Amino acid sequence: MSIVTRLQRSVLPVLLLALSGCTIYSPPQGPAPIETRPEPGVVTEQKQPPVAPQPPPAREPNAVAAYSGLVSKARAASAQGDYNGALSLLERAQRIDPDSAEIYLELARTYAAQGQKEQARATAARGTLYCRSQSECEALRALAR
């Protein structure tokens, strides 16, 4: 018998024994807990009425100031036909304020100008979740169609 065969015969049982200790199932340690229900006639805690959802907080002026320059540069780049540059600037602006409908609107317009109609629709639809003014909402809805 060769040394390889001997090694296989001695290592295989040890390996199987070691792996059998690595099972993931462990049986429950006791009976399952019993759920108790209050008796009918016993007064329990009164449930609070649901709270109306709060409107989204106003954007911080610093965030608007931080991304407005990027949006302006993106508009200029898009007007010159540099859509990739415009998209890059708008993505940077979106990292500053990911909840800005203005940025979503400019992204959608840039995608549409680039010929990516489906991407423009999807971006505009996402932007409608964040619009704060009637004009933004209407412009985003028009691009989402």
Q: How far is CA 67 from CA 19, 76, 100, in A?
A: 57, 14, 10
CATH code of the domain covering residue 136: 1.25.40.10
- Domain limits at 111? 61-144
Share of the chain above pLDDT 90, in %: 53
Task: Report residue 82 CA to chain centroid gap.
Answer: 29
Residue identified by tokens 């540099």 is 82
Question: 0.75 cut: is pTM over it?
Answer: no
Residue 87: how many other CB atoms lie within 10 Å: 20
Judge whether 88 lies within some domain.
Answer: yes
**35-70 pLDDT tens trace:** 777 676 655 566 666 666 665 556 566 788 889 999
Instruction: Give me the number of domains the chain comprises.
Output: 1
- pLDDT average, residue stretch 120-133: 95
Identify the helix (H) or strand (E) that includes residue 91: helix 83-96
